[in-house]
A and B are shown apart, each in its own frame.
Chain A
Amino acid sequence: MSLINENKDFGVIAELIPNNASVIDVGCNDGSLLEYLREYKNIDGRGMEIDQKKVQLCLAKGISVIEGDADTDLYDYPDKLFDYSILTYTLQATKSPKTVMQQLVRISKKAIISFPNFGHWKIGASLLLNRKMPVSKKLSYSWHETPNLHFCTINDFIDLCEELEIKIEKKGDLSNKKLSNFSGKNFLDSYFNEVGLFLVSKD
């Protein structure tokens, strides 16, 4: 997975999180987002990561991390334990995105979810013109080696939230570092955002 690792993305996520919040980053990579949030938002952070090399990196940074799998290990947390859960660029690699989303909104008051938007115009164009699965900076794997199992578009995501009665509160536009209130499907977002980023919740 090509992970969001530029600080500009971290900045957008940080804007969604108040100071001193408790946060779990599911698929926390080397812990750099949690570190960033610890520094700028003084969060009480936890991580979950499936790749042991990255778990070791987290441990060495003093980040509390569970070597675990978003598909199976989120059940271990009680309801609304965290203020925020974060799932960046991981949803499409889970076995069951639907269950993972349900778990995220169960264990946290609000969830921040980002994923590559398969509805982006370049992807559409690549399929249309080359008749090949798209490979880009954000989707850096060839079809035969990709860990991504469930690609979706921004509109698919919005539909799934509706089906699961998950409320979308805010949407993010990472290329312009903008956050705005969510007010339904939007032609521009689904065509021109390479990444979908949403703040969601379920009571």
Chain B
Amino acid sequence: MSENKIVTLAEDEPLNLDGGGSLSKFKTAYTTYGKLNDKKNNSILVCHALTGDQYVASDHPITKKNGWWSMVVGPDKPIDTNKFFVICPNVIGGCMGSTGPKEINPENGKEFATDFPVITIADMVRAQKLLIDYLGIEKIFCVTGGSMGGMLVLEWLSKFPEMVHSAVPIATATNHSAQNIALNELARQSIMADPNWQSGNYYHSDKKPMKGLSVARMAAHISYLSKEALQSKFGRNLQDKNSLDYSFDADFQIESYLRHQGFTFVDRFDANSYLYITRAMDYFDVSSANNGSLIEAFKNTQSKILCVSFTSDWLYPTSENKKIVKVFNSLGLNVSFIEIETENGHDSFLLDEPKFFEAIKGFINSTFENL
């Protein structure tokens, strides 16, 4: 198990941000597992999703639950920490120790709140690159992640192609569709509509935007599951009762489940971080720095790549992932693609999906053997 580490980066030079402005002396909280070998060629950078964090394979300090990818990362797991040195940083803008809206602005000694600059996926990747430099790694063996983590992977391939030997972007897209943006906007509006949000200045208040954040999470959670999964798990089953109450209590199990998801989420996540990170995802377009051309965006990429999608994922569907594959194919890259059949929706990459695990393991191990 890894302990959380925090490092201050950009001490000499500030990190310039896409939206203008910069961050200097920012903190990155991260975990590592396994050992970096003498050749320094066995590192795997794991990029977390919107509400993930650096606790990829160690118990979460707040929820006490297993790390979010503990089925994938660990000794003898598909990403075997006996063999690989795994690094997982909390993104900037996050709320688990990396510099973000709830951290103290060194300039005035107060929480950033909404004074925190709007950041992009590329900014997050530039910040991660400083961590990799700090760790003394010139070439990362593999960069991987699902959902927003997959966007970070794509941005790594585009921005720092010479630093990435191989990559596994999972259940992701080269940019957000109108539907993706709409869902995030719904989440942001529900946070900002909560009077306890107080324009983001709630850190010293007794009242925090828990209801708004909770509703945001409920909406998002629906998008992570498929209709089939919801139907087979909950159907129209009633919650602890035999008949309808004719009220607005949680009559149905699905209502009770979603409320639970919402309530537990607010204990571990900061509402302002949710605003910033969803904004970064909406702004993401890996082609934008290259006049809208995906071919240009990846023209210097030489990495070996495995793209993965899930059949029932409607948030980042197979069609979006295949678009990525098509671009890599057009460039003649060493790209593989596999579509995992499952009814678990977008969340599949976080769940027990043996065929998904087999693919990751096969790709990573064979790529390492052929180094």
Residues of A within 8 A of B (CB): 22, 46, 52, 55-56, 58-62, 64-68, 76-78, 81
Contact = CB atoms under 8 A, between A and B. Distances in A.
Contact of A62 (B326, B355, B369): B369
Contacts of B358: 56
A123 to B, nearest CB: 37
Contacts of B366: 59-62
A64 B334 contact: yes
A61 B366 CA distance: 6
Contact of A66 (B304, B337, B361, B367): B337
12 contacts: A52-B341, A52-B355, A56-B338, A56-B362, A60-B366, A62-B366, A66-B337, A67-B337, A67-B339, A77-B330, A78-B329, A81-B330
Interface residues of B, number: 26
A55 B43 CA distance: 26
B325 A66 contact: yes
Contacts of B337: 65-68
Contacts of A61: 366
B369 A56 contact: no
Interface string B265-306: 000000000000000000000000000000000000000101
Interface in B214-269: none
A76 B329 contact: yes
Contacts of A58: 336
B142 to A, nearest CB: 13
Contacts of A81: 329-330, 332
A67 B329 CA distance: 13
From A52, A59, A61, A65, name the one whose CB has the most chain B CB atoms within 10 angstroms: A59
A60 B325 CA distance: 19
Interface string B327-371: 001101011111101000000000000010011011101110110
Nearest to B308: A67
A66 B329 contact: yes
B338 A59 contact: yes
Given A64-B334, A66-B335, 10 more contacts: A46-B334, A52-B355, A55-B336, A56-B338, A62-B367, A62-B370, A65-B336, A66-B336, A67-B337, A68-B337
B362 A60 contact: yes
Interface of B: 304, 306, 322, 325-326, 329-330, 332, 334-339, 341, 355, 358-359, 361-363, 365-367, 369-370
Interface of B is mostly: helix
B319 to A, nearest CB: 12
Contact of B306 (A22, A52, A59, A78): A59
Given A56-B359, A59-B363, A76-B325, A64 B330 contact: no
A61 B362 CA distance: 7
A22 B332 CA distance: 9
Contact of B338 (A22, A46, A52): A52
B353 to A, nearest CB: 13
B329 to A, nearest CB: 5
A62 B369 CA distance: 9
From B338, B355, B367, name the one whose CB has the most chain A CB atoms within 10 angstroms: B338
B39 to A, nearest CB: 19
From A46, A58, A65, A76, name the one whose CB has the most chain B CB atoms within 10 angstroms: A76
A112 B135 CA distance: 49
Nearest to B364: A59
Task: Please list the 7 inter-chain residue pairs (A to B) with the smallest Cβ-Cβ separation, ordered nearest first.
Answer: A62-B366, A60-B362, A59-B362, A64-B334, A76-B326, A66-B337, A59-B363
A62 B365 CA distance: 8
Nearest to A24: B329
B9 to A, nearest CB: 35
Contacts of B363: 59-60
Nearest to B332: A81
Nearest to B326: A76
Contact of A59 (B332, B336, B339, B370): B336
B367 A67 contact: no
B62 to A, nearest CB: 36
